[in-house]
Amino acid sequence: MTAIITAAELACESAGPRPPVLLDARWQLGGPPGRAQYEAGHLPGAVYVDLDQELAGPPGAAGRHPLPDVAAFGAAMRRAGVSQDRPVVVYDGGQSWAAARAWWLLRWAGHPDVRVLDGGLAGWTGPVTTEIPAPEEGDFTPAPGALPLLDAAAAAALAREGLLLDARAAERYRGDVEPIDPVGGHIPGALSAPTAENVAENGGFLPAQDLAARFAALGVTGDSKVGVYCGSGVSAAHEVLALEIAGIPAALYAGSWSEWSADTSRPVAKGPDPQ
């Protein structure tokens, strides 16, 4: 099973006997929420899911987008019509960060068939609607642990003993600028691997072989233990998805830099080098 689906494939499956549940996860850092965009036009049958309210817990010491309460997440997914035995396709406006976060959460929580619309709504050529669906309640019950998850200690250990990738822009990794979190820099030992380098000009993911070559250049091999973090666990999910497309399993440090930097006792590295 692939982790992404093209617009043409989605149009075909949506017209078939077992159409996927569609989730609209439009979101942008700093807001406003994507609901207004959703209400102005979305894929037919798609249900809006709010990243800040349903795909994350309240911000705090665990980061700006900590994992949501598992029971609350399961209830939100059931309201959206998600069932264990029905495929799910998630999309956003085109960047696919929020869609990847929803993909990761559902897969981590045990759903076996979740894909991201490659290129998002920007690449969709089919019809859109303003009709708000009323889906039948789903039966999905989260069983967390299907994908690997890192806490701060495990991320630090992986930076020393394996490969920890920093998915933020290179200038934030170096500590040249930090527009969001109180401290700039990176986790000592982490490698700079901006998630923007995983996508093509049209906003979709690079082909699997190109992604594999990109990660191989960073030292990722078939035997590598790989983890990813970003600012708050959103764009890092996008990089985990890119690694999945390339055939490389990777763990997510969900708290990411916003959790790491909130504890002033944790070390911070600056500059272009990992250490």
In CATH terms, are 4-123 and 149-260 the same topology? yes
Q: Which fold has domain 149-260?
A: Oxidized Rhodanese; domain 1 (3.40.250)
pLDDT in tens, 57-88: 999 999 999 999 999 999 999 999 999 999 99
pLDDT in tens, 170-217: 999 999 999 999 899 999 999 999 999 999 988 899 999 999 999 999
User: Does the annotation mark 12 as catalytic?
Assistant: no
Share of the chain above pLDDT 70, in %: 100
Q: Which fold has domain 4-123?
A: Oxidized Rhodanese; domain 1 (3.40.250)
pTM above 0.95, yes or no: yes
pLDDT at 10 over 80: yes
What sign does the CA torsion over 221, 224, 230, 234 have?
positive
What is the per-residue pLDDT for 2? Answer: 87
What is the per-residue pLDDT for 221? Answer: 84
> Where along the chain do its domains lie?
4-123, 149-260
The single residue of 155, 158, 167, 230 carrying the catalytic annotation is 230
